[in-house]
Structure 1
Amino acid sequence: MAKVTANSDQLRTLAAVVDSGTFEGAAASLHVTPSAVSQRIKALEEQSGRVLVRRSKPVAPTEAGSVLLRLARQLTLLEAEAAAALAGDEAAASTPLPLVVNADSLATWVLPALAGLEGIVFEIVLDDQEHTLDRLRDGTAMAAVGSDPEPVQGCTSTPLGAMIYRAVASPSFVERWCPDGWTTETAGAAPMLVFDRKDALQDRYLDAFAPGARPPRHFIPASTQFVDAAVLGLGWGMLPDLQADALVDSGALVVLDDQTVAEVPLYWHQWSLRSTVLDAVAGAIADEAGRVLRTTGSRAPGPARPRSDRRSRA
């Protein structure tokens, strides 16, 4: 087994290379020459006996590189916390904490949770809730909100609650595609909104409501614009109650089906690391989640809305 004797400069350089995607970008962020960056990475690879980064565009960590990248993130955070403690500060404000969050959570409840944390800065990466843990595995994030209950090796997993999604569309869409009610036939023909190619939420709804239906689809890879597309009548889609309720109440959206709803449980994942910053973030996330998310398994429909004349089940 290789013995790794990496120093902090080498580990910091590895993180900079992965974050910037190039050796030149890492050199600029570290205020050293590209040659110095290359020498540090080469020395670290020789010490570990492994190739640590793929010289692709952008540069990406190998499996062995991800192990040392996690070490680099931990070292950076702990160094910053120690410096802050010695200076009498409560948090390491100058060190961004890398978090990965699904777009709907970021658009609804995560930012209010983080807004109450003073002295902590964040680097937030978006990914589908079913893929956020990939960022923990490769070391590019230290914590994540995702839908997988199983923790990544070296991490913990804590249930947060669930977001409830319903099929919604604009009144103009309803008049065009389903004036007599939302049916399995309509669901198979009416255009559908999908966030990106990782987004399986609409297809899972169709598997339950209209098995075999595969309607045409629009890809709208931004949470706010996804809502806009639904309001504008571009297609129907699954929206969380946290985003849709006010629009339904105002008449801008109509709930197509209030029976076949989707419950997406969410979990807080973080590295098993004693850190005052991570603990503060985890506490804020848990508090806000407890306030706004549904208890898993309690999928009772929301309050009555002015939509009953515009929907019907097959």
Structure 2
Amino acid sequence: MIDYALLAAVAAIRRTGGFEKAGRELGITSSAVSQRVRLLEERLGVALVIRGQPCRTTEAGARLCQHYDQVGLLEHTLNRELGFDANDGTAAVLRIAVNADSLATWFPDAMKEIDGRLFDIILDDERRNADWLRKGEVSGAISASPGPLQGCNSKMLGTMRYVATASATFMQRWFSEGITEGALRSAPALAYNADDEFNIRWVREALQLSLIPPTHWIPAPQALVRAAMDGIGWGMNPLPLVEAALRDGSLVELPPGLRLDVRLHWHWARSVQHAMSDLTASIVKAARLGLTAGL
């Protein structure tokens, strides 16, 4: 049998990244956290935590932590259905993988509908989020992968639409003679990080060109919009973030007006599907309002 009091220490380390912070979360000393982790590792005969800055869980540790979180969700649901007041100072954790553009637009509307649980959001690319669920490190994921994954349910949510934008002054400076190959090789672009290939894809599909523009990497969706408005570069932005700026002229759309669509799906573990039914309903509702209908 797993000692959940000991496993709580491992889960706290995964959430906080260190023994001292985990101790503060649990109301014990960091040495007590270390003792609990060591005792559980000795009982199970496997390493659970990789010491470092920050500390990380091993694969076994991650699976055990996910089990711990799922047990917490099931207990929370049972207490609620039976009318129990489980006011013991703990809260069930919803560990979810979400892409940055969803988190910057529609996903918070789903979060605000959920009471009595804490979100632990893993921020990653929509093309990789399903891997977090496949490895058992999260209970649900917003993903571009249609699925369904083994042991999981899947639902198509809608389409995130992306539009190429820049300020009028940027357009005049860099694209006064049109969106040419030469201009694209010189004009600075804006992207979230090295994995963000929306600009490359837009150039290929809109202009039938194969090139990588010089790029500023700014890992924050709202900051990317601000950078475009300030004339720092051009880039692909989620339509919900730039609709107002396009209307008031703070941003203009690059011709020929091709917009890129990414279908988003919600995947969640069947083992906690009942415990996550309200979250699933909230996600579907928020996506219906915040995304373009599935194409």
Question: Which interval holds the TM-score relative to the shorter structure?
Answer: 0.7 to 0.9
Contact 1:12 1:76 in 2 (8 A): no
Contact 1:52 1:65 in 2 (8 A): yes
* TM-score of the aligned structures, taking structure 2 as reference length: 0.88
1:168 and 2:165 are equivalent in the alignment: yes
1:158 and 2:152 are equivalent in the alignment: no
The separation in 1 between residues aligned to 2:122 and 2:265, in whole angstroms, is: 16
The separation in 1 between residues aligned to 2:238 and 2:256, in whole angstroms, is: 12
Aligned match for 2:194, one of 194, 197, 210 = 197
In structure 2, the partner of 1:287 is 285
- Number of positions where the alignment pairs a residue of Structure 1 with one of Structure 2: 293
Aligned match for 1:271, one of 269, 272, 275 = 269
1:143 and 2:140 are equivalent in the alignment: yes
Shift of 1:93: 9.1
Contact 1:93 1:120 in 2 (8 A): no
Deviates more, 1:260-269 or 1:46-55: 46-55
The separation in 2 between residues aligned to 1:120 and 1:70, in whole angstroms, is: 15
Describe the SS at the equivalent of 2:102.
Answer: helix
Percent identity over the alignment is: 36
Describe the SS at the equivalent of 1:185.
Answer: helix
Amino acid aligned to 1:190: A
Shift of 1:40: 2.3
Amino acid aligned to 1:129: E
Describe the SS at the equivalent of 2:254.
Answer: strand
Deviates more, 1:169-178 or 1:138-147: 138-147
Q: What is the RMSD of the two structures over their aligned residues, measured on CA atoms?
A: 2.6
1:53 and 2:60 are equivalent in the alignment: no
The separation in 2 between residues aligned to 1:96 and 1:243, in whole angstroms, is: 29
Describe the SS at the equivalent of 2:223.
Answer: helix
Q: Give the unaligned 5+ runs of structure 2.
A: none
The separation in 2 between residues aligned to 1:133 and 1:46, in whole angstroms, is: 32
In structure 2, the partner of 1:115 is 112
Describe the SS at the equivalent of 1:257.
Answer: coil
The separation in 2 between residues aligned to 1:64 and 1:155, in whole angstroms, is: 20
Alignment CA distance shift 1:18-1:116 (3 Å): closer
Shift of 1:164: 1.1
Aligned match for 1:25, one of 21, 25, 34 = 21
The separation in 2 between residues aligned to 1:171 and 1:150, in whole angstroms, is: 41
The separation in 2 between residues aligned to 1:93 and 1:270, in whole angstroms, is: 23
* TM-score of the aligned structures, taking structure 1 as reference length: 0.83
Alignment CA distance shift 1:117-1:151 (3 Å): same
